[in-house]
Structure 1
Amino acid sequence: MTELHRPAHAPADHPALPRAKVGVLLANLGTPDATDYWSMRRYLNEFLSDRRVIDIAPWKWQPLLQLIILSKRPFTSGANYRLIWNKERDESPLMTITRAQTEALASRMQEAYGGAVQVEFCMRYGNPSTASVVEKMVKAGCEKILFFPLYPQYAGATTATANDQFFRALMGQKWQPAARTVPAYFDDPLYIEALAASVERSYAALPQRPDRLVASYHGMPQRYLREGDPYHCQCQKTTRLLRERLGWEADAIDTSFQSVFGREEWLKPYTVEHVAKLAQSGVRNIAVIAPAFSADCIETLEEIQGEIREAFVHAGGESFTYIPCLNDDSAHMDALAAIAGRNLAGWLA
């Protein structure tokens, strides 16, 4: 419940206002509200109509999207989501995990700053929308908002479009809060430590040590790299720092890219092809980690554990281990809290 007060030195008839707070707004990609055709179509339409994601001229892209892709893809995407859907809460795992992350971060902010910080989350596509949560925070008295896209590596199609939507939400506010955005944290020591600890825990629980660790990142068109997007370089650095922290040899971890869409050439190697080639070359035991995803989602729970696993086994692989995303793991949440704290400097004692 929002606490109201009358500003100091205000006349007696001045309306009560919420006490000033600082807000931290976590943002992730998004999720459909349900797995039926129309829910999936609404979600995919918003996602695939984003010019940061698909930068083809609308006059070329929209007829293809509306008449062909959105006639078929909601059925297949809905079926894939049903395989991983949280039936108890009737929501996607990404929603469940992001809520848990928000609660964990709120607890850490409470310990550090008392009640001066309000932590919320939003989705770039779907609900809760960025605009609705910004509105909620402003009404609650957040005069400053730190916007925190949960993407360790920067990409125009993830971090930038989330920031775009945040600034569009601010455009709708009569009294805009002061705003900051959290930059990519792909090389943050606490983030790398949390990744390394998750690998060590997973390996310790296995009967046999994997022969290779594959770091699978979400892909993007090769063209974006040539146009100046730093994502590919930041992914490579994350892998290198993880390997160095684990103390492994240079060939112990591979970097690859998944979730290819369309006919354009994307960043290579493609994970689904790479794991098959590993199996064909005699590598029988691998583990896969997804350092670009802060929370498990359709790309990890269905694509990695389904299509990518099947490609490895079909090519002769024997043991396939998926190392879960960091999710609301304590070390991960400590890292996110430290990153938020640094970016709150000057706003809070």
Structure 2
Amino acid sequence: MTTERLEHAPADHPRVKPAKIGVLVANLGTPDATDYWSMRRYLNEFLSDKRVIDYPRYLWQPLLQLVILTKRPFTSGANYKTIWNNEADESPLMTITKQQVAKLRDQVARRYGAEVVVEYCMRYGNPSTFDVVDRMVREGCEKILFVPLYPQYAGPTSATANDQFFRALMQQKRQPAARVAPEYFDRPSYIEALATSVERVYPTPDAKPDVLVASYHGMPKRYLMEGDPYHCQCQKTTRLLRERLGWGEGDIITTFQSVFGSEEWLRPYTVEHVAELAKQGKKHIAVMSPAFSADCIETLEEINGEIREAFEHAGGESFTYIPCLNDDDLHIAALMELIGENLMGWIG
């Protein structure tokens, strides 16, 4: 990238990069590999986050370091191996994020030209938020729009991504102006993208499943009682999707997956509820994951593994997984709409 000398600056003044506006999209993260130590580093960073596990450190860290991280990297690594993109040697989440960013860069370049650049980072693992923010600042980004790729806001997802972004800004001598894009759980363009993904699989009302399960990532119920809006936003996403599809009240239900620990989490639990549906005679179901912007271990392995097996073991006959929106053009259009609104005032 070219640099320029400031007018009236002395000859020894550091050369300055042309001013840019940055769009930084962020997702949860991924291990670098499936071996024990790669998995341990990733899980340690993830499970040490106070937004994710908010137990007192003096109670949680000994359990994490001495028990959980001696065993879980092996099982998690084995699960990741079943979905790993061996050709690119990376997780599907990384592959899909790169595809999303490639399309966003193309759309941003068409609309704004070279003045706006698009980068991506991960809350846990690589590329880290710290490294990417530092690179963007060094490349001349004087304004950065931070876009967490979580449709629904939650403390353990959106908030911790925001925390890390602002920690990264704290390391910069010359901080850029910063904005954070809000959640987009009820945006018509996002709901349209979800509905279209369902209609591709079930093009007519007569073809729809007995039940469509909208499975969202889980959270301790306590977080809801403490003011986290996630549960309510998930319920609204499901309702808006049902209304857009024109389906009946019982045709789509909200459940929560990925339960961890012994305390009560948001209910109903997906793995238990799909089994109950089968026992009730709902033999043909579909599952989708509106809380995930990209397919990942929770969708490709957990839903297509543990949750599918629970349904079939209870007598279910037909289980269809509807993929996340990933780099679908309607999803990219919805994200571009969000980005465009939040760049207003910075660029035309």
**Interval containing the TM-score (normalised by the shorter chain):** over 0.9
Residue 6 (structure 1) shift = 2.3
* Structure 1 unaligned blocks of 5 or more: none
| SS of structure 1 residue aligned to 2:131 | helix
Aligned residue in 1 for 2:337: 338
Aligned residue in 2 for 1:85: 84
Supply the distance in 1 between the matched residues of 2:71 and 2:22 (Cα, whole angstroms): 40
Residue 205 (structure 1) shift = 10
Which residues in structure 2 correspond to 1:1-349 (within 5 Å)?
A: 2-11=1-10, 13-204=12-203, 208-349=207-348
Supply the distance in 2 between the matched residues of 1:14 and 1:105 (Cα, whole angstroms): 36
What is the root-mean-square deviation of aligned Cα atoms in Å? 1.3
Supply the distance in 2 between the matched residues of 1:96 and 1:211 (Cα, whole angstroms): 33
Residue 5 (structure 1) shift = 1.9
Residue 211 (structure 1) shift = 1.1
Runs of 4+ in 1 over 6 A off after TM superposition: none
* Structure 2 unaligned blocks of 5 or more: none
TM-score normalised over the length of structure 1: 0.98
Supply the distance in 1 between the matched residues of 2:345 and 2:8 (Cα, whole angstroms): 26
**Identical counterparts, % of pairs:** 72
| SS of structure 2 residue aligned to 1:4 | coil
Residue 249 (structure 1) shift = 1.1
| SS of structure 1 residue aligned to 2:294 | coil
Residue 34 (structure 1) shift = 0.3
| SS of structure 2 residue aligned to 1:101 | helix
Residue 206 (structure 1) shift = 12
Supply the distance in 2 between the matched residues of 1:72 and 1:44 (Cα, whole angstroms): 11
Supply the distance in 2 between the matched residues of 1:42 and 1:207 (Cα, whole angstroms): 48
Residue 10 (structure 1) shift = 3.8
TM-score normalised over the length of structure 2: 0.98
| SS of structure 1 residue aligned to 2:28 | strand
| SS of structure 1 residue aligned to 2:242 | helix
Moved more, 96-105 or 196-205: 196-205
Residue 17 (structure 1) shift = 1.4
| SS of structure 1 residue aligned to 2:345 | coil
Aligned residues: 348
Give the counterpart letter for 2:81 in structure 1. R
| SS of structure 1 residue aligned to 2:243 | helix
Assess, with a 3 A threshold, how the Cα gap between structure 1 residues 240 and 285 changes in structure 2: closer, same or farther. Answer: same
Give the counterpart letter for 1:135 in structure 2. D
Give the counterpart letter for 1:335 in structure 2. A
Supply the distance in 2 between the matched residues of 1:51 and 1:195 (Cα, whole angstroms): 31
| SS of structure 2 residue aligned to 1:266 | coil
Moved more, 217-226 or 206-215: 206-215
Moved more, 227-236 or 3-12: 3-12
| SS of structure 2 residue aligned to 1:204 | coil
Residue 202 (structure 1) shift = 1.5
